[in-house]
Amino acid sequence: MERILRINMTDRTATFEPVPDRYAHRAGRWLTSSIVHDEVPPTSHPLSPDNVVVFSPGVVTGTAAPTSSRISVGAKSPLTGTIKEANAGTGWGGRLARLGIRAIVVEGMASGDDWWLVKVSQDEGRFEPADEWSGIKLSEAYASIYERYGGVEAIDVCAIGVAGEQRMAAAGVCFSDREGRASRYAGRGGIGAVLGSKRLKAIIVDDSGAEGVSIADQALFDEGRKKVADALMSHDITKPKGALNTYGTAVLVNIINEAGALPTRNFREGRFDGAEKIAGEAIFDGNKERTGSELYNHPCSPGCIIACSNVWHREDGSEHTSCIEYESDWALGANCGIDDLDAIAEMNQLCNEYGLDTIEMGGTIAVAMEGGVAAFGDAQRAIELLHEVGEATPRGRILGNGAVVTGRAYGVERVPHVKGQNMPAYEPRAIKGIGMTYATTPMGADHTAGYTIAPEILGVSEKLDPLDPDKASVAKGFQEATAFIDSTGHCLFIAFAILDIESGFEGMIDECNGVLGTNWDADDVTRIGGEILALERAFNRKAGFTNVHDRLPAFMESEPLPPHDAVWDISDAELDKVSE
């Protein structure tokens, strides 16, 4: 039987309850956004007991469907004040799904100064003291938790770092990767701070005795997963030793730089002179030089074909950090004017250790640099600033609360954000469609909410001119499809393959129908995606957001971006088409 585990921090109870009929077929983002929409008063303070944190594995998470180990995390965001969904690839969600747990809802707030860990297993959610893991690096906390609870075979771990403990709005939610690293993040929107406000340090899942995900039509499901697997195995971006497996997501550095859309030095330029030094190719070559091997990437979670997760090694060949994603590489590198991979790796690892969203932190350091706190390119100072966040010094508290608060503290006008969330690694002035996604997604500036980079830059599904402003329908379509994919439990990266290979797209739907016993078709993908967006937008409206917030910062309308000298020139009416 499918069930919801309700963890009440106020009275420290964990109770299984049946999934209400109204949530039938809902999983992943569809379910996390539904529960946040239904249970959180939209005008409540994100750090109040009225907020909840919802975890939900996707429809096919925990099955043999390839690349489907995403866990969706939802809450009202302390960074944006909007509804927020962030997701991560980890074995944690699959264990939950196999236990028949459709969602965990964390509600209320523990009194006192103690930290808590909840161990979820077949029969219970058990509260255990967690003070020993607070205030330390997440790699140490994870190692200790694994030692206590049986190792990487027995459990997966979700935890917050010191940033979350300190209720900082750039705090992400950290999940274990396949090797037990504290490295996979539902990073954006500060949901780590919400867990911190509730004094929940960690949730571990032990799926021993689990019955597994029940599948309504095994044959259909198997047919579907084979179609998806075939698509992933054959597409140049997703196949073994393909672009992502070889160079990781940082393969985009050179591509986006070439397009003049790599935001550099706090979005002052679209090309970074140090791009080649931090590109995915440089990571591959550097690792080869330092380890003596051509290292292909590994999967972040069980069952992934793409396997895009890299490790960066120190000069002595030891592991420095995992994973340097494109967006982290850019945020902590180009956007801060830093072209030293070892420095970027150290910053990346500090974000992992302190429990911080790399995108928000890179953007924040860039804003601080703009405000005179450090010079662009000063990697040593940037590393020190991240340590200040981990130590929660006053300056660290400014930075740990993100780019907008940092802009406030230092009187900086040029804060590239939407709805309080710093923009990610694609310049909207040079790639109009992604800018329309930033502006209109209910999530605040978020590339994963509608990744129009696929057609605009990579030529996936079709090749569009990035500077063409006529992208409302593209941005809308991608947001709808994404909301659906985020509900299946698949990694968004399957989109590269299934948008180009029609049978892959069919396979994804077959998988869902196989698990759920539904009869969804391609129209349902759009319909369901639209429904998810509609309820997210409904929450935001009740929280005080209007179309006026579906805009990019004014400075982008007047400041031309080299090398194209493009400005942001999408009209309000055009933007409003995306969300209507």
Radius of gyration for the chain, computed over Cα atoms and rounded to the nearest angstrom: 22
Q: Give the contact letters, 113-152, x = binds to a copy of itself (CB under 8 A), - = no.
A: ----------------------------------------
Residue 544 binding a copy of itself, by CB under 8 A: yes
Residue 452 binding a copy of itself, by CB under 8 A: no
Among 553, 561, 568, 575, binds a copy of itself (CB under 8 A): 553
Judged by DSSP in three states, 463 sits in: coil
CB 125 within 8 A of CB 119: yes
216 or 554: CB nearest a copy of itself: 554
Among 31, 52, 169, 512, binds a copy of itself (CB under 8 A): 169
> For residue 246, what are the CA distances in angstroms to 242, 249, 295, 492, 534?
6, 9, 8, 18, 38
Residue 577 binding a copy of itself, by CB under 8 A: no
Q: What phi, psi does 145 have (nearest 5°)?
A: -65, -45
**Counting Cβ atoms within 10 Å, is residue 547 exposed (0-12), middle (13-18) or buried (19+)?**
middle
Number of residues interacting with a copy of itself: please give it, by CB under 8 A. 40
29 or 417: CB nearest a copy of itself: 417
292 or 394: CB nearest a copy of itself: 394
Q: What phi, psi does 50 have (nearest 5°)?
A: -75, -20
Residue 551 binding a copy of itself, by CB under 8 A: yes
Site for a copy of itself in 318-347 (CB under 8 A): none
CB 225 within 8 A of CB 136: no
546 or 571: CB nearest a copy of itself: 546
Residue 112 binding a copy of itself, by CB under 8 A: no
276 or 413: CB nearest a copy of itself: 413
* DSSP tag of 238: T
Q: Which two tokens stand for residue 109?
A: 């707030």
92 or 267: CB nearest a copy of itself: 267
Among 405, 425, 458, 474, binds a copy of itself (CB under 8 A): 405
142 or 545: CB nearest a copy of itself: 545
Which residues, including other chains, have CB under 8 Å from residue 579's CB and lie 6 or more apart?
A: 440, 476, 533, 537, 547, 550
CB 542 within 8 A of CB 548: no
CB 172 within 8 A of CB 356: yes
Among 219, 375, 522, 554, binds a copy of itself (CB under 8 A): 554
Q: What phi, psi does 309 have (nearest 5°)?
A: -85, 120
Q: Give the contact letters, 502-541, x = binds to a copy of itself (CB under 8 A), - = no.
A: ----------------------------------------
Site for a copy of itself in 349-378 (CB under 8 A): none
CB of 351 to a copy of itself, least distance (A): 19
Beta strand residue intervals within 130-275, DSSP E: 155-159, 173-176, 182-186, 200-206
Among 121, 139, 393, 503, binds a copy of itself (CB under 8 A): 393
Closest by CA position to 301, among listed 491, 122, 143: 491
Judged by DSSP in three states, 376 sits in: coil
524 or 576: CB nearest a copy of itself: 576
CB of 140 to a copy of itself, least distance (A): 23
Residue 394 binding a copy of itself, by CB under 8 A: yes
16 or 555: CB nearest a copy of itself: 555
Residue 483 binding a copy of itself, by CB under 8 A: no
> For residue 476, what are the CA distances in angstroms to 84, 281, 485, 580?
18, 33, 14, 9
Site for a copy of itself in 33-52 (CB under 8 A): 41-45, 47-48, 50
d(C-alpha 528, C-alpha 62), whole Å? 22
273 or 413: CB nearest a copy of itself: 413
Count each helix (H run) and each strand (E run) in the chain, helices first: 24, 16
69 or 82: CB nearest a copy of itself: 82
Site for a copy of itself in 186-205 (CB under 8 A): 193, 196-197
Residue 579 binding a copy of itself, by CB under 8 A: no
79 or 300: CB nearest a copy of itself: 79
Number of neighbouring beta carbons within 10 Å of residue 574: 17
CB 163 within 8 A of CB 356: yes
Among 126, 241, 288, 408, binds a copy of itself (CB under 8 A): 408
Judged by DSSP in three states, 203 sits in: strand
User: Near a copy of itself by CB under 8 A, which window of 258-266, 313-321, 408-416, 440-448?
Assistant: 408-416
Residue 571 binding a copy of itself, by CB under 8 A: no
User: Cα–Cα–Cα angle for 228, 232, 238, nearest 5°?
Assistant: 150
Site for a copy of itself in 68-87 (CB under 8 A): 78
207 or 536: CB nearest a copy of itself: 536
d(C-alpha 476, C-alpha 16), whole Å? 37
The secondary structure of 27-51 as a DSSP string is -HHHHHHHHHHHHS-TTS-TTSTT-
Residue 166 binding a copy of itself, by CB under 8 A: yes
Closest by CA position to 342, among listed 319, 360, 366: 319
CB of 168 to a copy of itself, least distance (A): 7
Please list the residues that pair with 118 across neighbouring strands. 127, 203
Among 137, 397, 429, 447, binds a copy of itself (CB under 8 A): 397
Q: Which two tokens stand for residue 285?
A: 């070559």
d(C-alpha 404, C-alpha 367), whole Å? 9
Residues making contact with a copy of itself (CB under 8 A): 41-45, 47-48, 50, 78, 166-169, 193, 196-197, 393-395, 397-398, 401, 405, 408-413, 542-546, 548-549, 551, 553-555
